[in-house]
Amino acid sequence: MSSSDSITIIGAGLAGSEAAWQIANAGIPVRLYEMRPSKRSPAHHSNDFAELVCSNSFGALSTDRAAGLLQEELRQLNSFIINTADQNSVPAGGALAVDRERFSSNVTNKLSSNPLISIHRQELSDLPSQDQITILASGPLTSSELAENIKRFTGLDQCHFYDAASPIIEGENIDLSIAFRGSRYDKGDADYINCPLTQHEYLSFRKALLQAEQAELKDFERDSATFFEGCLPIEELAQRGEDTMRYGPLKPIGLWDPRWGDLQNRDLRRTKRAYAVVQLRQEDRAGRLWNLVGFQTNLKWGAQKKVFRMIPGLQNADFVRFGVMHRNTFLESPKLLKPTLQFRDRLTLFAAGQIIGTEGYAAAVAGGWLAGTNAALLARGKEPISFPKETMIGALTHFISDLELKEKLNKRNKFQPMPPNFGLFPELNTRIKDKRSRYGAYRDRALKKLNESINRNKDFFKVSLSL
């Protein structure tokens, strides 16, 4: 297989894996480059493709939630990654969470067995020539060499922030005489394990967090680091105020301990709830591994073991994986990309995944789907597509390619990654005050617009969506 008759993809994360599958489904050969295992990032733990680094959750399943709507749009587009996630899901209340190892292993096996996908286990540290259709999907953990070459190509200093992953513990040592199963507001099954804290326990835990020793950041000093506001380390939340954690990942609202009995009176429930609650989400199908929800951290490993064992019910916790912090790189996309995810100055070069400035697993998959589809269309001599702003895919890709935002960035360079959210949508024709009803109307409009886009491009989609 020569490079001239194939499409090159740099990176086999969520976006690169999705793009490779869509291109191969269009009947076009793919050269997929993945630097692991010859070179590892600070956050990866395996050699499999589409490894989920931060958590095992793709977000809410409900389609009147932004993440759930994006997942549904991808299902209707026959997303390879979302289909694989559905097949490897684990109980998580109203969220799509997966068994990480099974999920990544299945993605790797399917891509490796596809005759049109050529796997290259090596680092591609520079961008191919302009005549080679290429998708840059190296992710937020792009190697320093490739990042420098991207910087030279774009003429811009790449943006960055610090992200972190939560620790994972073994389930058999969780003390269920203290911790209890339950989901907020009894929504869905009791898929989470909850560890209640009294006010004294919470304040002692916060004090220990503030005093615990943190791992040294390799790239800069601690006080110069920039964090992504949607995924702050737990010790950073503790630093921001006494009650910040209680209004974030440790909020007790919607949970009550069944040891107090079957409380039917809502007012009584409110008085009986814990001062704060740490939630654990299932990592694997067997329920042997659990991650601490919202406990991204940069504490040293010894400090993590000492401090997190202060949580009631986790006093004997065995840690399978400690939390880590890593630097994430992303492009100043409004200055560089079109809504088709093509670089404005090189139409044969696409970008996808978290490197383009969209946040979250489903958003990375969406970028991979669109970049892969458009690369295939370009290879067939057809015009690349973009989605309407009324769809979640379109809202995200139009945001990160917004020319008005580009002009603002020329004055103040503060582009930050954007997760799926309804605030990106154009207003509805009729104002709806009730938030749940309004989000439902956004969903209905989005899926209608998506269906119209599919019908407009049915000559292409009737093949790709049937595979």
CATH classification at residue 197: 2.40.30.260
Selection from 3-17, 61-75, 139-153, 255-269 with the highest mean pLDDT = 61-75
Q: What's the pLDDT band for 329 if we cut at 50, 70, 90?
A: confident
* Closest to 276 (Cα-Cα) out of 291, 254, 302: 254
Distance from C-alpha of 370 to C-alpha of 351, rounded to nearest angstrom: 10
Most confidently predicted of 35-39, 212-216, 281-285, 381-385: 381-385
Interval 242-246 mean pLDDT: 95
Greater pLDDT, 123 or 258: 123
Tokens for 176, please give them: 């269920």
Instruction: Tell me how far apart the alpha carbons of residues 179 and 244 are, in angstroms, rounded to a whole number.
Output: 22
Asked if residue 449 belongs to a domain, the reply is: yes
Q: What is the DSSP string of 287-352?
A: S-EEEETT----B-HHHHHHHHTTSTT-TT--EEE---EEEEEE--GGGTB-TTSEETTEEEEEE-
Q: Which pLDDT value is given to residue 152?
A: 86
Q: Name the domain boundary from 323, 345, 370.
A: 323
The one-letter amino acid code at 283 reads E
Query: Side-chain half-sphere of 6: how many Cα atoms within 13 Å?
Result: 18
Same-domain pairing of 27 and 121: yes
pLDDT at residue 172 is higher than 60: yes
> Which position has the higher pLDDT, 54 or 171?
171
Instruction: Give the pLDDT band of residue 303 (cuts 50, 70, 90).
Output: very high
What average pLDDT score do residues 307-329 get? 86
| Predicted pLDDT of residue 228 | 59
Give yes or no: residues 257 and 112 share one domain. Answer: no
DSSP state of 356: G
2-6, 9-13, 195-199, 439-443: the lowest-pLDDT one: 2-6
**Contact partners, residue 139, CB within 8 Å, separation at least 6:** 11, 13, 15, 16, 353, 354, 355, 364
Helix/strand/coil for 368:
helix
Same domain, 116 and 177: no
Task: Report, as an integer, the average pLDDT of 409-430.
Answer: 75
Q: Provide φ and ψ at 28, rounded to 5°.
A: -115, 135
397 in a structural domain? yes
Per-residue confidence at 141, pLDDT binned at 50, 70, 90?
Answer: confident
Q: Please tell me the distance from the alpha carbon of residue 173 to that of residue 315, in angstroms, as a whole number.
A: 9
- Tell me: do 172 and 315 sit in the same domain: yes
Instruction: Kindly tell me the sign of the dihedral angle through the C-alpha atoms of 144, 351, 14, 326.
Output: positive
Closest CA to 401 of 443, 342, 355, 325: 342
Same domain for 355 and 318 = no
Q: Does 17 share its domain with 59? A: yes
Distance, in Å, from the CA atom of 63 to the CA atom of 441, rounded to the nearest integer, reads 11
Which residue did the predictor score with more confidence, 203 or 221? 203
pLDDT attached to residue 219: 46
- Tell me, yes or no, whether 361 lies in a domain: yes
- Distance, in Å, from the CA atom of 36 to the CA atom of 33, rounded to the nearest integer, reads 9
Q: What is the pLDDT of residue 1?
A: 38
Q: Residue 262 in 3-state DSSP?
A: coil
- 23 sits in which H/E element: helix 14-25
Min mean pLDDT across 217-226, 288-297, 410-419, 438-447 is at: 217-226
Neighbouring-strand partners of residue 163: 326
Residues facing 326 on adjacent strands: 163
* 446: in domain: yes
Tell me the three state secondary structure of residue 219.
coil
Listed residues 263, 297, 323: the one ending a domain: 323
Measured in whole angstroms, the distance separating CA 233 from the mean position of its chain's CA atoms is 16
pLDDT at 34 over 60: yes
Model pLDDT, residue 466: 44
pLDDT computed for residue 221 by the predictor: 35
Rg of the chain taking only CA atoms, in angstroms: 22
- What's the DSSP call for residue 196? E
pTM for this prediction: 0.72
The reply to whether 467 falls in a domain is no
Q: Considering the domain boundaries, does residue 108 fall inside one?
A: yes
Residue 428 φ/ψ region, left for φ over 0, alpha for ψ in the -120 to 50 degree band, beta for the rest = beta
The proportion of the chain whose per-residue pLDDT surpasses 70, expressed as a percent, equals 83
3-state secondary structure 372-441: HHHHHHHHCCCCCCCCCCCCHHHHHHHHCCCHHHHHHHHHCCCCCCECCCHHHCCCCCCCCCCHHHHHHH
| pLDDT for position 139 | 78
Same domain? 340 vs 387: yes
**pLDDT score, position 2:** 42
Task: Please give the Cα distance from 424 to 388 (Å, whole number).
Answer: 12
Query: What pLDDT sits at residue 130?
Result: 92
From 290, 323, 356, give the residue that closes a domain.
323
Write down the pLDDT at residue 43.
55
128 domain-assigned: yes
Closest CA to 150 of 124, 119, 120, 122: 124
Q: Which amino acid is at 460?
A: F
pLDDT of 45 strictly over 90: no
315 token code pair? 């006093």
> Using CA atoms, how far apart are residues 140 and 327, in angstroms rounded to an integer?
8
Residue 278 domain flag: yes
Q: Which residues contact 274 (CB under 8 A, 6 or more apart)?
A: 196, 197, 198, 252, 255, 257
Number of domains in the chain: 2
pLDDT value at residue 99: 94
At residue 3, the pLDDT reads 47
* Domain housing 294: 168-323
Average pLDDT over the chain reads 85
**Closest residue by Cα to residue 70 from 352, 443, 334, 418:** 443
In a shared domain, residues 239 and 352 = no
Predicted pLDDT of residue 146:
86
Q: What does the DSSP 8-state code read for residue 96? A: E
Looking at the fold, whether 380 and 254 belong to one and the same domain comes out as: no
Residues 124 and 172 in one domain: no
Token reading at 180:
């209890």
Q: Which of 134-148, 220-234, 243-257, 367-381 has the highest mean pLDDT?
A: 367-381
Instruction: Taking residues 292-302, report their average pLDDT.
Output: 90
Q: Are residues 427 and 339 in the same domain?
A: yes
Residue 88 has pLDDT above 90, yes or no: yes
What percent of the chain is modeled with pLDDT above 90? 52
Residue of 362, 352, 467 lying closest to 8 (CA atoms) = 352
Residue that the structure tokens 């009737």 belong to: 462
CA dihedral 314, 316, 320, 323 (to 10 degrees): 50
CATH value at residue 9? 3.50.50.60
Give the pLDDT of residue 272: 64
pLDDT of 326: 66
Q: How far is Cα 203 from Cα 423, in angstroms, rounded to an integer?
A: 35
Q: Judge if 346 and 316 occupy the same domain.
A: no
Exposed/middle/buried for residue 403 (C-beta within 10 Å: 0-12, 13-18, 19+):
exposed
